[in-house]
């Protein structure tokens, strides 16, 4: 099956939803529209309601002002979070329309179908990238702030759970992708303080929270990463940039094989989200895909297992493209899925 990472360059929510449904009827996704407002950027979209949050609309920036006394706002946040966790009423952590303009448009269109879709996909910023991406008033990542890293972790878990509940009537199965772009730089000099055990704990906590709602959880990293670390955290779907970093996954063939033997899925980000779109066709991308499958299977992973438990996506989000190129990527992916399915079913 084919689906998207989520972001589009379009600014009309209804039009974006129609594009998704036209191209991905098996796994429609709730589109993200960051060009409509900076509040819909992947990090900012999940910041609503955070304590001591400062939003500068004119400069299109936000930060958490930890230098001032946040005790009252922190107490209110924890009271709201604990009430939600204990009562099961998650509406206090709803993602508001100002942060996700296509959310309700997507839900309305999804429910208009006579029966639920086979699978519906939603996405949320992952906890590690949220903590590294949102900063304090001294421009320090909140990942390193003991209090706020916990606040942001709870925010992600509760908002992701709310998304599952909001879209549960729309699909027989629900997939939640936790987007972790910062994990593409894991181990680099810029993230020397980001420890493997912390990533497993923080990401794993969010994954378990979403699994508690009965959803399948994927982790998207738009680049190479320590995939065994992500498997250890509990991800059921691994989504990587197979177009730009295809051979990188071969290093982890043993772990990927074990992951798939347990029912795990590999989502191949095989359609480029850059200028290479104009150099490719569905046929050329299909050739690239099967070449990568062959190389993975040469490392001992069962071919039938791989083809049964694979998904197809773009390499990353499409918001950086023009609307025309984003639609080209969607067409290529949809055509690719039809062609690949015909060969493997």
DSSP state string for 257-285 = HHHHHTT-EEEEEEE-SSGGGGG--HHHH
* pLDDT, averaged across the chain: 95
73 located within any domain? no
The pLDDT value given to residue 189: 64
Other C-beta atoms within 10 Å of 6: how many?
A: 28
Separation of first and last alpha carbons in the chain: 12
Share of the chain above pLDDT 90, in %: 94
CATH of the domain at 27: 3.20.20.210
Q: What is the mean pLDDT of residues 74-83?
A: 97
52 located within any domain? no
Please, is 67 exposed, middle or buried when counting C-beta atoms within 10 Å of its C-beta (0-12, 13-18, 19+)? Answer: exposed
Distance from the Cα of residue 13 to its chain's centroid: 19
Pick 344 or 53 by higher pLDDT.
53
53 located within any domain? no
Q: What is the mean pLDDT of residues 46-67?
A: 95
60 located within any domain? no
The pLDDT value given to residue 191: 75
Inform me whether the pLDDT recorded for 186 exceeds 90. Answer: no
Q: Please state the φ and ψ torsions of residue 309, each to the nearest 5 degrees.
A: -120, 45
85 located within any domain? no
337 located within any domain? yes
**Please, which pLDDT band fits residue 344 given cuts at 50, 70 and 90?**
confident
**Please, which pLDDT band fits residue 185 given cuts at 50, 70 and 90?**
confident
Give the ranges where 29-95 is alpha helix by DSSP (H).
71-87
Nearest Cα to Cα of residue 44 among 128, 124, 149, 164: 124
Inform me whether the pLDDT recorded for 41 exceeds 70. Answer: yes
The pLDDT value given to residue 304: 93
DSSP string, 159-178: HHHHHHHHHGGGEEEEEEEE
Handedness of CA 213, 218, 221, 227 (dihedral sign): positive
The pLDDT value given to residue 29: 97
**Please, which pLDDT band fits residue 159 given cuts at 50, 70 and 90?**
very high
80 located within any domain? no
The pLDDT value given to residue 34: 97
**Please, which pLDDT band fits residue 192 given cuts at 50, 70 and 90?**
confident
Inform me whether the pLDDT recorded for 281 exceeds 90. Answer: yes
82 located within any domain? no
pLDDT digits (tens, 9 = 90+) for 291-311: 999 999 999 999 999 999 999
Total number of domains constituting the chain:
1
Q: Which domain holds residue 282?
A: 13-47+93-344
pLDDT digits (tens, 9 = 90+) for 121-154: 999 999 999 999 999 999 999 999 999 999 999 9
């Amino acid at each position: 099956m084919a689906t998207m990472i989520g972001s589009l360059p379009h600014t009309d929510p209804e039009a974006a939803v129609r594009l998704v449904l036209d191209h991905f009827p098996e796994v429609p996704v709730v589109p993200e529209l960051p060009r409509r407002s900076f509040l819909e950027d992947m990090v900012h979209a999940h910041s609503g309601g955070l304590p001591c949050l400062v939003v500068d609309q004119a400069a299109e920036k936000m930060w958490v002002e930890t230098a001032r006394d946040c005790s009252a706002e922190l107490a209110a946040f924890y009271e709201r979070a604990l009430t939600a966790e204990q009562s099961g009423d998650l509406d206090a952590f709803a993602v508001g329309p100002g942060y996700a303009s296509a959310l309700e448009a997507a839900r309305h269109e999804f429910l208009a179908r006579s029966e639920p879709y086979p699978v519906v996909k939603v996405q949320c910023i992952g906890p590690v990238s949220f903590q590294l991406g949102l900063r304090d008033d001294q421009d320090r990542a909140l990942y390193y702030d003991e209090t706020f890293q916990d606040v942001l972790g709870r925010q992600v878990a509760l908002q992701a759970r709310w998304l599952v509940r909001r879209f549960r009537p729309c699909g027989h199965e629900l997939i939640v992708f936790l987007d972790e772009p910062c994990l593409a730089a894991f181990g680099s000099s810029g993230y020397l303080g980001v420890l493997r055990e912390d990533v497993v704990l923080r990401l794993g906590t969010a994954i378990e929270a979403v699994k508690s709602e009965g959803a399948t959880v994927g982790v998207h990293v738009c680049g190479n990463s320590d995939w065994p670390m992500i498997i250890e955290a509990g991800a059921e779907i691994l989504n990587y940039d197979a177009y730009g970093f295809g051979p990188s996954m071969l290093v982890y063939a043993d772990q990927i094989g074990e992951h798939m033997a347990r029912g795990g899925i590999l989502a191949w980000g095989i359609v480029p989200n850059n200028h290479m779109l104009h150099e490719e066709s569905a046929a050329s991308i299909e050739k690239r895909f099967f070449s990568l499958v062959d190389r993975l299977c040469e490392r001992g992973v069962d071919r039938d297992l791989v083809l049964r438990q694979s998904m197809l996506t773009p390499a990353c989000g499409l918001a950086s493209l023009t609307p025309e190129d984003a639609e080209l990527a969607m067409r290529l992916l949809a055509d690719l899925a039809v062609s690949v399915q015909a060969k493997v079913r």
